Amino acid sequence: MKTSKTHYFTTLKSLLACFAIAFCSTIALGQNYESNTNSNKQSGTIYGIGGNNELYVWENNAWRYIPNSGLVIDIAIMQDGTIIGIGKDKELYTRNGSYWKKVPNSGQVISVAVDNQGGIMGVGKDEFMYRWKQTSLSSYWEKVPNSGLVTDITVKDDGTIIGIGRDKFLYVRVGTSWKKIPNSGKVIDIAVAKDGTMLGVGPDRFVYKWVRTDLYSAWEKIPNSKGVIAIATN
């Protein structure tokens, strides 16, 4: 069955409009975020991983180094404020205080995220998504079918999964497939705040804010934010 060009572009415009609404945000970084690890607050702490693979926290429009916080390649924030990270050995570690504690049988992943139910998700070395399963006898990663190929993921409060493709563009998980989000590149790591604000790390290691006001909006660079390879926020 043939489809007219008019119908095609009308459908495409509607799809782009849906993405624009889904990711529209006008919050100003540094105005409504405060340095607090209480995840029940509307605002939250932004953590970054520096090029030295140690942790930094965003305070007063600058990165503050957290001592004794390395070495990790990706992090996420649990609902209780606990930081979960991936070590260079691709295993999970939790940080509740000043030290990392290894999670048994938790490798091999390259990215970690916390879903809206508090569950742990990861991206394996094969660039497929995995869910962390725990029973009374064992813990293991369960592969999500048809979930490749992504390099990083984050989960919104409504359960929507956003991933980064190999092309460094954003993709939204619709059912059992990925749909590319137009004009969403290029980023190497992403996080989403409780209010829905999308944050990304560009290839230049600056943090960018997603300000989606129309179909052609782009990432907005955050001043003084250079120096991180990954971020997380609660």
Of 97, 101, 36, 98, whose CA–CA distance to 67 is shortest? Answer: 98
Please, what is the average pLDDT of the chain? 83
Range of the domain at 225: 5-233
Determine the Cα–Cα distance for residues 75 and 77; give it in Å rounded to an integer: 7
pLDDT one-digit tens code per residue, 95-151: 978 889 999 889 899 999 999 999 999 999 999 999 999 876 778 999 999 999 999
- In the predicted structure, residue 28 carries a pLDDT above the cut 50: no
- In the predicted structure, residue 158 carries a pLDDT above the cut 80: yes
- In the predicted structure, residue 31 carries a pLDDT above the cut 90: no
Count of domains for the chain: 1
Per-residue tokens: 95: 């940080």
Q: Give the CA count within 13 Å in the CB-facing half-sphere of 133.
A: 10
pTM metric for this prediction: 0.80
CATH of the domain at 57: 2.115.10
